[in-house]
Amino acid sequence: MKLRFVSDYMNAMAYTTTMLESNSKPLIDEYYPNGLVFGQDGAPAHRSKTTLDNLFDIDVPIVPWAPCSPDMNVIENFWAILHKHSIVVGGSSKRRTIYAKL
Domain membership of residue 44 (yes or no) is: yes
Cα 28 to Cα 33, 58, 68, 84, 85: the distances in Å are 7, 11, 28, 36, 37
Residues 41 and 74 in one domain: no
Structural domain including 19 reads 8-69
Tens-digit pLDDT profile for residues 1-21: 566 667 677 888 888 888 888
Distance, CA of 76 to CA of 50 (rounded, Å): 25
Average pLDDT, the chain: 75
Same domain flag for 61 and 81: no
Task: List C-alpha distances in Å: 7 to 14, 16, 38.
Answer: 11, 15, 24
Residues 44 and 20 in one domain: yes
The angle subtended at Cα 97 by Cα 91 and Cα 69, nearest 5°, is 115
86 found inside a domain: yes
Q: 41-88 pLDDT, tens per residue?
A: 778 888 899 999 988 888 888 887 776 666 666 777 777 777 777 665
Share of the chain above pLDDT 70, in %: 69
**Does 76 lie in the same domain as 94?**
yes
pLDDT at 102 over 50: no
